[in-house]
Structure 1
Amino acid sequence: MSAEDTVALRRAATTDAAAAADLWLRSFAAALPTVVRPRSDDEVRAYFRDVVVPLHETWVAEAAGAVVGLMVLDGEQLSQLYLDPVWRGRGLGDRFMALAKERRPGGLALWTFQVNKPAHRFYERHGFSAVEYTDGRDNEEQEPDVRYVWQPGTRG
């Protein structure tokens, strides 16, 4: 049995909010060390508890009782996709992407920071195309970002 076989993707429950927020914090710090977060750790945890998990379609990846991945769909927007740093490169992101496309067969859009080149490669490999670049003035982090779109029938 491979490591990927021991990971279950499931809808998040309210009891997953703290673990999902902690995963987000670890992943953000590892993947985006130069991006300044405008919210404290406690504010991030409250946001996951009060907004993300109860109000959005939130999925977690669980391995050995621990949350190791997170995906949030908000309408046609893939608003969050974060993996525990030790789980990157092990196929978990691919599984989340397949699930996202299954859940939103009409298409998906997302934003990622311009400095996050690994994310660009990942999304492009999954058939997303960059359609808009900004200077970051409209996001909380004030960090230049890029909008990606996937339409059914495109590669990936």
Structure 2
Amino acid sequence: MRADDRAVTLRRAVSPDDADAAADVWLRSFTAALPSVVRPRSDDEVYGYFRHVLVPLHETWVAEAEGGGVVGVMVLEGEEVEQLYLAPEWRGRGIGDRFVALAKERGPQGLSLSTFQINAPAHRFYERHGFKAVEWTDGSGNEEREPDVRYVWRP
């Protein structure tokens, strides 16, 4: 962990500004990590979804760097990790590990999530945190129509 990484705090998102910053992280991360996946929503629709759905209706957390703004976002819906994205320049600094630890605290009975089959780094990340792949799909159940993998974690 670098010295500047200790200045990252995780906090519950509560404002429209948080929603826009989280959407920006999501957009940049999705573009960097999944360049071949076609997004079914425009940038404006993604911002609106964060503003009107995720932040007000779901348990949305942001990672905020001191002096650097929001650098990560995690959305929980019960035992489901709906979203976990980091700004590309902040990957590999332990923020994702902290988000997963927080998710496990919030969902001590277990968690589940889906990630695209082509996202091998995400597979390694979740498996390192004890998640097990339990289902592979053809993508017909997600907006992107991209084959995905269902993961579960049980304590």
Q: Which runs of 4+ in 1 moved over 6 A?
A: none
Deviation at 1:2, TM superposition (A): 1.6
Quote the residue 1:144 is aligned against.
Answer: 147
What's the CA shift for 1:4?
A: 2.0
Identity value in percent: 73
Query: In the alignment, is residue 29 of structure 1 matched against residue 31 of structure 2?
Result: yes
Instruction: Name 2:18's counterpart in structure 1.
Output: 16
What pairs with 1:36-55 in structure 2 (closer than 5 Å)?
A: 36-55=38-57
Residues in 2 aligned to 1:131 and 1:33: alpha-carbon distance in whole angstroms: 25
Within the alignment, does 1:76 sit opposite 2:79 as a pair? yes
Write the deviation string for residues 101-121 of structure 1: whole angstroms up to 9, x where unpaired: 011100000000000000000
Match of 1:98 in 2: 101
Is structure 2 residue 10 aligned with structure 1 residue 5? no
Letter in structure 1 aligned against 2:5? E
Secondary structure of the corresponding residue to residue 25 of structure 1: helix
Structure 1 residues not aligned, in runs of 5+: none
State the distance in 1 between where 2:72 and 2:141 align: 27
Matches of 1:3 and 1:30 in 2, distance apart? 23
Partners of 1:2 and 1:59 lie apart in 2 by 22
Question: 1:65, CA displacement in angstroms?
Answer: 4.4
CA distance, structure 2, for counterparts of residue 112 and residue 81 of structure 1: 10
Q: Secondary structure of the equivalent of 1:141?
A: coil
User: Over the residues paired in the alignment, what is the CA RMSD in angstroms?
Assistant: 0.9
CA distance in 2: counterparts of 1:92 and 1:39, whole angstroms: 27
1:128-139 aligned at under 5 Å gives the runs 128-139=131-142
Offset, 1:3: 2.0
Opposite residue 72 of structure 1, the aligned amino acid is V
Is 1:126 aligned to 2:124, yes or no?
no
- CA distance in structure 2 between the aligned counterparts of 1:25 and 1:7, rounded to whole angstroms: 20
